[in-house]
Structure 1
Amino acid sequence: MAWEVLSAIGTIAFAVSGAIIAMEEEYDIFGVFILGVVTAFGGGAIRNLLIGVPISALWDQEILFQLALASILIVFLFPNKLLKPWNRWGHFFDAVGLSAFAIQGALYAVDLALPIYAVILAAILTGSGGGVIRDVLAGRKPLVFKAEIYAVWAACAGLLISIEAVRNDFGLYLLFIVITALRILSYTYKWRMPKREIHH
């Protein structure tokens, strides 16, 4: 049950986040739908490619595609004043999508009996892959490559699932809430990863 719920939550959250960024960049309605769908399914496509699952498996997710398209349409029709505070809503939906898809990606890899490093990588790619593609297509620097903590939370989710620290649906939902909260706290309080700059 947790698998289906987290897939739906992640799909809606990333579809909305992609649509909002597309509208910020003044894309037309076609561009808004394309960026929203790519954001929602990009991470799963990258994960499938790297762990050996046929990309065509994405096309079996008809209900998720319908959810994504409906979410994008609703956001597109939203009054402008409700969409203006992007810093609040955009980051929130991005955090929800990151958490839901990281857990979903880790569960997918565990189900295939992959080793721990593959589970962690699947969590990172599924959780942040769609956002990376979204930011690149929108001409922005991907969040995952900035100093701000982002993909680390996805890796934590993958690690906990791979070592079976989380074993049931309740634990998965709790992990989802915790990872989402940590991501929100990290951008709210600007928690940073170490970085090094090279000056010429």
Structure 2
Amino acid sequence: MSWEILNIIAVAAFAFSGSIVALNERYDIFGTFILGIATPFAGGIIRNIALGVPVVHVWEQGYLLYVAMGTISIVYFFPKSWVMSWDRWNIYLDAIGLSAFALQGASFAIGADFPLGGVLFSSIITGVGGGVARDVLAQRKPMVLHQEIYAVWAMTGGLAAGIGLIDIGNMWQTYSLFFLIIMMRVLSYHLGWHLRFRDLYRL
């Protein structure tokens, strides 16, 4: 149940984020739905292809596709003035999707008995893949390539699960890590934390 809730939250958050970006770029209804669907599902597809796992299981949870479609419909058909005012919240939606999908990727790799490297890779790709697909399709610079700390938080979640620091099967521990990753991503954005080490040499 805990993973079903996390998946619903993540899919809705990323579908919302992708739809907002599409509307900002003045996409039509088809483009909005394509971008809104690609954002929550691209990370899992890329992960499965990279790890040699059949992609079909990504689509087996049909209710998640309905969640994405419903979210996109709400965004597209709501008054545009309302939707555009929600754009300021996109960083929070992206943080929610990043955290939930990073943990889902870690759980996937652990369940498939991948070593720590595979867990880290799965966590990062699942967490950031959707955002990268969204930004590339919208012809924006992907967040993962910015100086902001972004993929590091997905890797941190995968590391905590991969080394057994948290039990990914324990609901309370999983949700605690979920909210911690969100908090750290939001803080790193608002406080301007980055990985541009060359600035340190100027101090």
Short-chain TM bin: over 0.9
Higher mean displacement: 42-51 or 72-81 = 72-81
Find the counterpart in structure 1 of residue 160 from structure 2.
160
Q: Secondary structure at the match of 1:114?
A: coil
| Aligned residues of 2:20 and 2:87 also touching (Cα < 8 A) | no
Q: Deviations over 1:25-63 (max 9, x none)?
A: 000011000000001100000111112210111221200
Q: CA–CA distance in 2 between the matches of 1:82 and 1:193?
A: 35
Superposed CA RMSD in Å reads 1.4
Where structure 2 has 5 or more consecutive residues not aligned to the other structure, the ranges are: none
Find the counterpart in structure 2 of residue 183 from structure 1.
185
Kindly report which structure 2 residues correspond to 1:1-200, keeping only aligned pairs within 5 A, or say none: 1-85=1-85, 88-167=88-167, 168-194=170-196
Shift of 1:138: 0.3
Identity of aligned residues (%): 48
Q: TM-score, normalising length from structure 2?
A: 0.93
Following TM superposition, where does structure 1 have runs of at least 4 consecutive aligned residues deviating by more than 3 angstroms?
Answer: none
Shift of 1:117: 1.0
Q: Deviations over 1:149-179 (max 9, x none)?
A: 0000000000000111111110001111010
Q: Secondary structure at the match of 2:192?
A: coil
Q: Secondary structure at the match of 2:147?
A: coil
Number of residue pairs the alignment of both structures matches: 197
Q: TM-score, normalising length from structure 1?
A: 0.94
Shift of 1:190: 1.2
Where structure 1 has 5 or more consecutive residues not aligned to the other structure, the ranges are: none
Q: Deviations over 1:3-34 (max 9, x none)?
A: 21211111111100000000000000110000
Q: CA–CA distance in 2 between the matches of 1:176 and 1:161?
A: 11
